[in-house]
Structure 1
Amino acid sequence: MNHLASWNKSNSPCQFYGVTCDLSSQHVIGIALANLSLSGSLSPSVSLLPSLVSLELGANSLSGIVPSELANCTNLQVLNLSTNSLTGKVPDLSALKNLQGFDLSTNGFSGEFPTWIGELLGLVELGLGENNFDEGFIPQNIGNLKNLTWLFLGQCNLIGEIPASIFELTSLGTLDFSRNQISGIFPKAISNLQNLYKIELFQNNLTGEIPPELAKLTLLSEFDISRNQLSGEIPPEIGSLKKLKIFHLYRNNFSGEIPEGFGELEFLWSFSIYENSFSGKFPANFGRFSPLNSIDISENNFSGEFPRFLCQNNNLQFLLALDNDFSGEFPDSYSSCKTLQRFRISQNHFTGKIPDGIWGLPNAVIIDVADNGFVGGISSDIGVSASLNQLYVQNNKFVGELPPELENLYQLQKLFAFNNSFSGQIPSQIASLKQLSSLHLEGNVLTGPIPSEVGLCTNLVDLNLAQNLLGGTIPETLDLLTSLNSLNLSQNYLRGSIPEGLQALKLSYVDFSNNQLSGGIPPELLLIAGEEAFSGNDGLCIEEIPRTQKYSSLSFCNSNHGRNGVLGRRVVLMIIIFVVLIVLLAGLAFVSYESFKLEERRKRRDFDECKGKDSKWVLESFHPMELDPEEICNLEEDNLIGSGSADDEYDAKVADFGIAKIAEGSELSCFAGTLGYLAPGN
């Protein structure tokens, strides 16, 4: 709807939507356009409305700065620009002395906190919280605003202690300094503010204890000092604050018991004290007379029986009591608490059976009874809890079959039932759980096959069925779980092969160990999980060692498994090549040796034949011979290597690789030199 359609020239401004005019003067005195999804910036021309008394533009999408000209609207009594996207520094508007309501909270203002605010003495309501001012102290002059009933300065970077002047604002009904860095001891002087009905000091750095004087604030309805560093016990006097509706102390260091007076409160709506060190028995009548809607007492040390009356008035939506020391059976009275949305009592010492009605909570989003000593089974009433998102029953002593009525939990995302004694088969009706992301059934005595219908739970991310008695084969339908990240089927009696299709999933963890699986391990799964995830399956084998490791303790696949090991083929091929090379080398060596022997025989034969033809040839090598000059064909002395004698006889020596032969009775007159060699003298 265009709420500003009437803002046109054909209409008088007094006819504009959201505009109020003075009946006599027809001057604009009010503009009320809150929560209309308006955008744009605030025009300086607003200062042309001198009679403007009220400007309310909260809960829109306005941006830009607040024009300083707004200070000219001196008749303004109400200025509300909260919950927009305004930025920049807050201009000096100290001239607006008639202001009673001033709210700029929940914007993006920055710069120094506007200390001039203490000059607007007529202020009744002041809101500057949820802005990004520079870190600074709470201005003391705020104590001058004696008419203040509402003070909201939460989350605006305030530091230091709360000024004493604040505790002089006796008209104050709401005091909110939450989500700052305020320090110091919790102020006793706060008890001076007799009209306070709301104290919001959570998420600061306050220390000390709750003063008993706080009980003087008889109008106190909302009290939230959670997420500080407070300690000590709750003074018993606080239990006398009959108008208490909200009481939050969570994430502090409180101890001791809860005063019995809290069991008599008639208006208590929300009670949250988790993450403290409270102990002892919880008040037996707590919630009996009040419209309790929410209680969180988790992570304390409460003991004894659980209080019976928290849902006495059928208004309880949030019951959280996990991680305490409660014991005994859980009260039957909660069977009729159909308003419950979050029911968490895990990590206690409860025993006995859970009342059937608690399984059937039509509005429950979470049922968490894990880590106790409960017995019995999950009632068929679970089918009534159609809104259930998370079911935690792990680490108990539950028995029996998982009820087929689980199929009605269409919104279920997490089912944790591990470490119990559930038996029977996994119900095929699990196929109806289309939103299921985590299924943990490990550590039970489930039997039968893994239902193929599990593959229809296509949002599964985490599937753990380990440590059961499951048999049969791994369903091929698991490769339909395209979101699956973790799969644990270890310690069962599964047989057959691991489906190849699982390699296509985005798995980061798998475990098939200690089953009766056989066949080849899909290499991508082996690469993801390592050999440990496949150990204890004598029939499993690998085709090759993963590239990330040098050795493998797993056996290699052979024909019996329907696969030929790639690594085995490579080894055989290398052996064949090696043998062939050895044979070739041996053959070459043999042929070379035979050729050498043949050549030797041929040479010997030629020599023998030569020797037989002319037995007068005698080979003399490196033997001294005495020759006459005529016998060496009148060679000159320079052509001989050797030494002469006085009677012209020479000792001839072989040189230049030569040989000398004497052939007696030969037709040749002489022989000298080596074949192919010409003596230097010729």
Structure 2
Amino acid sequence: MPFCSFLFLLCFPLFSFALNQEGHILQAFKRSIEDRGNAFSSWNATDPDPCLWNGVTCDEHRQVISLELISSAISSTFPLQLCKLPHLLYLSLYNNTFHSILPPAISNCTTLEFLDLGQNLLTGSIPSSIADLRHLRYLDLSGNNFSGRIPPSFGQFPQLEAFSLISNLVGGTVPPFLGNITSLKMMNLSYNSFDPGRIPPELGNLMNLEVLWLTGCKLQGEIPDSFRGLKNLILLDLSSNNLTGVFPKALTELTHVTQIELFGNYMSGALPDTFSKLKALRMFDVSMNNFSGPIPSSLFELPLESLNAFENNFEGSLPESMAKSRSLKEIKLFANKFTGALPVDLGKYSALASLDISNNFFSGSIPENLCAKGALTEIMMINNLFSGELPSSLGNCQSLTRIRLGNNNFTGPVPENIWGLPDVSLLELTNNTFSGKISKKIGNSKMLSMILISRNNFSGTIPREIGSLKNLVEFSADHNKLIGNIPDSIMKLNRLAKLDLRNNKLSGLLDHRLYAWERLNELNLANNNFSGKIPPAIAFLPVLNYLDLSGNQFSGEIPHGLQNVNLNVLNLSYNHLTGILPSYFERSMYKNSFLGNPGLCKGENDACHLIHSSKSGGRGGEEKECDEEGGCLWLQRSIFVFVGVTLFVGAVLFHVKYKTFVKTRSLNIKSKWIMTSFQKLSFDYDDIVDSLDEDNVIGSGGSCLVYKIVLANGETIAVKKLWPELPDDCKSIDLENNCTEVNAFDAEVMTLGEIRHKNIVKLLCCCTNGECNLLVYEYMPNGSLGDMLHGIKKELLDWQTRYKIALDAAEGLSYLHHDCVPPIIHRDVKSNNILLDAEFGAKIADFGIAMTVDISKVKTMSVIAGSCGYIAPEYAYTLNVNEKSDIFSYGMVILELITGRRPTDLECEENDLVKWVRTTLEGKGLSHILDPKLDSSHQEEMLKVLNIGLLCTNPLPSDRPPMRRVVTMLLEVRMDCNSMIAWRKGRLTPYNFEDSENAA
């Protein structure tokens, strides 16, 4: 008996710790999963209670009813064994890397009520058997690669309340049978590859629907009147489609709706005056359409919190009833044709937070009570017809952060307190008739990064207090009546990138301490009364690109070191400069840079020849007088005789050459090279062609070879040799299958031949002979960022260098997107297309698939162009391309700079670098992301730059910041903690970017 008792005690632990059936099923699931995030660390087979395991939830009977493994870094095909759990109601595998097809046998999960498979890598058609899950209430298949059509069986769901299919590759048209799912409360089909089609009127049968989201579904035609049946609708988003027709009165009968978004369509006509029923409306966005007529007064009598009706063709006055809206928080009516004055009481009754009415025809003055509630943060009125003086009450609005009043007819002095508002970062008063002085209180506005007061009548001196604005990036005060010296304190502004004081009455010497302007890109002091020598320190400004000191009284010699500065624009004309012009400036691009300096000459054969002034210049010098009587007359006669003989000989030679050319034209035309130059060159095509041998090849691609050629004069150039593409090799085809883009050679020439920027690679010339094409560039000795970052020289890229590269590339893209007319989209931004000069300055290269676009529109391509790993997700799904595609690619470059990993790194969750960075950052911290080659002492800066990269790679294109804003954020990275308050308020986190391009 004791022996039996002993055996019972030995066996008792086996029974006590044995897994139940559900535990065995979960363990089988665990074994089938590739777990890279340690998600199953608590799933211990010796623990008999799976209800205590991570992600598992049980009911009161200890039965598994829920499995939630969100963002767990797990990978597998769909785990059908989970369908064996007899009581499973809730299954969420959101944001992992489940792949392959979704098997039809998923219908075996008969108990499921909630199924979330969003943000995975599932492919193939959506199985129609999902509709057999009769208890299913929530279905999320978003962010996968499903293709084909929505199965007709989906119209038979008996209890489905939420259905999301956002960002897949689903085709066909939006099916009418979805109108049969009368239990639906939320449906989101946005960003798929639907064929063009109308909105099915049957969707109006969804009487329980609360959220309908059909963004980017290629919808066309009118919004059906049947939508009046959506009595419970709260949110309607039909944006970024091809809808036409007028704004339907049916939508004004949706009494529960809080948000209507119809932006980015082709709707027209006037808005109906029947908005009074929409008592719950909080947001109304009909931007980027063709609406016209006045804004109905009934719209402004609503308790709106956000109004965004911009970029249409609205006309008419803003009604006085608008001022009676006591809940009005944001007014955004920019880029329309509104007229009339603002309501006198606007802002008096409501805590107005943002007012943007730019680009209209508003007139009158600014209402006195605009900031009566003390909540106004932004006032943007650029490009209107406002007049009168600014109300003094604005100076008491301590909440203001942005003031944009440019291009109006404002007059009088700016109230003193406005100059000193503590949180204002942008003050724009350009192109008005403001007068008076710049107040000394400007020193209190510590957050100021941009002061734009050009083209006014400001007078007096520049206050020395401006030197306390440590965050100042741009100070543009040209075309005013400022006098006196530039205060010494400005020399301390080491973040200053642009200083434009031209066309004033400033005087004095230029301080030699300007070398502190280490970020100065543009310096323009033209047409003032500055005197003395040009400080040699100007040659030590590392990023100076634009220098204009013309129309002053500068004297002495040109600093010799200035020829070492990479200047795209240089103008020292009409001063009193003397001495010999440095030989570097004897180039055609500088031929008008030194006019009107009588004592300046250029050296030639040990002689000094005066530089002649332009006859059209107002301050030109005079030619050197003859030393001997009659010398000039003899010289002139000799020149005439020489020219005459030369012309005669030239005519004879031309006649002979022309006959020879006609005879041999048909025989050797393919061997003739045609050379087009974009800079002054010291070589011709023979120097290039003779050096195109195998020994000089330094790189190759699918359609080109790249050569490094050292010319006889010691200059080094890079030559890209391309072979002509066949007509059917067009980079993209429009929807009518017509070739719309030129080949790589023409695209590169058309783009780089026209633009100039320090961060865009310089195209010197191009050559073609009918058989192959040559593109000749400045040589970049450090090669591409990709080769440097992933090659043997990786240790040369410390954090300071990588930050500079990120900033340089951002400035180059910002120039393409914002400063070129029309804007240019690169379409292939990647580390291999960012070249590095001897000082590791970055320049964007390879414009073979670049295209000009209208930023306000979306261009649809028929094929994907770009490089794997850098292509924006919406481009892959919808083939829609705009500047947001470049911004995503740039964000990938930032992640590559910080992690040291390629976007296609096999260790990064199915090659998804963004997902790997996000999950690792949240789970393990920054130290597990950083490139081991980087010094960890700069982690704070690295994290801020990483956040910018994550912003740029946001899956929603509208949430990616414009490149101009990216440049500003990068410049702000190195501000001290006190100056980063606004940055840390949540406006610029990786998951919430609210600043629009217009605000930027």
User: Same-fold call, TM > 0.5?
Assistant: yes
Which of 294, 309, 313 is 1:249 aligned to?
Answer: 309
Q: Where does residue 501 of structure 1 map in the other structure?
A: 561
**Cα deviations across residues 2-54 of structure 1 (Å, max 9, x unaligned)?**
665334434544223333323236032x34455x4645466242444454433
Question: Matched residues in 2 for 1:431 and 1:37: separation?
Answer: 52
Q: How does 1:395-406 map to 2 (within 5 A)?
A: 395-406=455-466
Which of 292, 296, 304 is 1:235 aligned to?
Answer: 296
Which of 418, 438, 451 is 1:378 aligned to?
Answer: 438
Q: Where does residue 389 of structure 1 map in the other structure?
A: 449
Shift of 1:89: 4.4
Q: Where does residue 73 of structure 1 map in the other structure?
A: 109
User: Aligned in 2, Cα 1:365/1:8: closer, same or farther, shift over 3 Å?
Assistant: farther
Q: Where does residue 520 of structure 2 map in the other structure?
A: 460
Shift of 1:543: 1.2
Q: Where does residue 164 of structure 1 map in the other structure?
A: 225
Question: Matched residues in 1 for 2:101 and 2:421: separation?
Answer: 52
Shift of 1:167: 2.8
Q: How does 1:571-650 map to 2 (within 5 A)?
A: none
Shift of 1:529: 3.9
Q: Where does residue 674 of structure 1 map in the other structure?
A: none
Letter in 1 for 2:61: S
Q: Where does residue 379 of structure 2 map in the other structure?
A: 319
Shift of 1:65: 5.8
User: Aligned in 2, Cα 1:420/1:183: closer, same or farther, shift over 3 Å?
Assistant: same
Shift of 1:282: 0.6
Q: Report if the CA contact (8 A) 2:102-2:122 is conserved.
A: no
Q: Where does residue 274 of structure 1 map in the other structure?
A: 334
Question: Matched residues in 2 for 1:33 and 1:354: separation?
Answer: 59
Q: Report if the CA contact (8 A) 2:454-2:476 is conserved.
A: yes
Which of 144, 157, 161 is 2:205 aligned to?
Answer: 144
For structure 1, list consecutive stretches of 5 or more residues without a partner in the other structure.
559-682
Shift of 1:114: 6.3
For structure 2, list consecutive stretches of 5 or more residues without a partner in the other structure.
1-36, 138-159, 614-621, 626-1000
Q: Report if the CA contact (8 A) 2:600-2:610 is conserved.
A: no
Letter in 2 for 1:553: H
User: Aligned in 2, Cα 1:217/1:307: closer, same or farther, shift over 3 Å?
Assistant: same
**Cα deviations across residues 555-575 of structure 1 (Å, max 9, x unaligned)?**
9999xxxxxxxxxxxxxxxxx
User: Aligned in 2, Cα 1:84/1:114: closer, same or farther, shift over 3 Å?
Assistant: farther
Which of 174, 190, 193 is 2:235 aligned to?
Answer: 174
Q: Report if the CA contact (8 A) 1:516-1:539 is conserved.
A: yes
User: Aligned in 2, Cα 1:392/1:284: closer, same or farther, shift over 3 Å?
Assistant: same
Letter in 1 for 2:488: S
Shift of 1:143: 2.9
Question: Matched residues in 2 for 1:107 and 1:65: separation?
Answer: 17
Question: Matched residues in 2 for 1:42 and 1:363: separation?
Answer: 53
User: Aligned in 2, Cα 1:542/1:295: closer, same or farther, shift over 3 Å?
Assistant: same
**Cα deviations across residues 440-496 of structure 1 (Å, max 9, x unaligned)?**
000111111111222221111111000001001001001111211111000000000
Q: Report if the CA contact (8 A) 2:335-2:358 is conserved.
A: yes
**Deviates further, 420-429 or 382-391:** 382-391
Question: Matched residues in 2 for 1:118 and 1:395: separation?
Answer: 59
**Deviates further, 119-128 or 364-373:** 119-128
SS in 2 for 1:335: helix
Question: Matched residues in 2 for 1:543 and 1:556: separation?
Answer: 16
Q: Where does residue 155 of structure 1 map in the other structure?
A: 216
Q: Where does residue 42 of structure 2 map in the other structure?
A: 6
User: Aligned in 2, Cα 1:133/1:352: closer, same or farther, shift over 3 Å?
Assistant: same
Name the TM-score, length of structure 1 as normaliser: 0.75
Letter in 2 for 1:220: L
Which of 580, 586, 607 is 1:520 aligned to?
Answer: 580
Q: Report if the CA contact (8 A) 1:542-1:556 is conserved.
A: no
Shift of 1:421: 0.9
Question: Matched residues in 2 for 1:332 and 1:37: separation?
Answer: 56
**Cα deviations across residues 86-109 of structure 1 (Å, max 9, x unaligned)?**
665444333344424435355344
Shift of 1:329: 0.7
Question: Matched residues in 1 for 2:624 and 2:204: separation?
Answer: 86
SS in 1 for 2:300: helix
Shift of 1:285: 1.2
Question: Matched residues in 1 for 2:87 and 2:321: separation?
Answer: 54
Shift of 1:71: 4.2
Letter in 1 for 2:517: C
SS in 1 for 2:465: helix
Shift of 1:360: 1.7
Question: Matched residues in 2 for 1:47 and 1:133: separation?
Answer: 32
Question: Matched residues in 1 for 2:484 and 2:122: separation?
Answer: 63
Question: Matched residues in 2 for 1:410 and 1:456: separation?
Answer: 13
Q: Where does residue 365 of structure 2 map in the other structure?
A: 305
User: Aligned in 2, Cα 1:398/1:244: closer, same or farther, shift over 3 Å?
Assistant: same
Q: Where does residue 125 of structure 1 map in the other structure?
A: 186
Letter in 2 for 1:219: A
Q: Where does residue 61 of structure 2 map in the other structure?
A: 24
**Cα deviations across residues 377-399 of structure 1 (Å, max 9, x unaligned)?**
22122222222221101001111
SS in 1 for 2:503: coil
Question: Matched residues in 1 for 2:624 and 2:42: separation?
Answer: 84
Letter in 2 for 1:18: G
User: Aligned in 2, Cα 1:84/1:183: closer, same or farther, shift over 3 Å?
Assistant: farther
**Cα deviations across residues 504-531 of structure 1 (Å, max 9, x unaligned)?**
1111111111111101112222415433
Which of 251, 274, 277 is 1:216 aligned to?
Answer: 277
Question: Matched residues in 2 for 1:165 and 1:292: separation?
Answer: 36
Q: Which has the higher helix share?
A: 2
Which of 225, 236, 248 is 2:286 aligned to?
Answer: 225
Report the RMSD for the aligned CA atoms in angstroms. Answer: 2.7
**Deviates further, 98-107 or 259-268:** 98-107
Shift of 1:194: 1.9
Q: Where does residue 542 of structure 2 map in the other structure?
A: 482
Q: Where does residue 441 of structure 1 map in the other structure?
A: 501
Which of 305, 319, 323 is 1:263 aligned to?
Answer: 323
SS in 1 for 2:244: strand
Aligned length in residues: 550
Query: Which has the larger Rg?
Result: 1
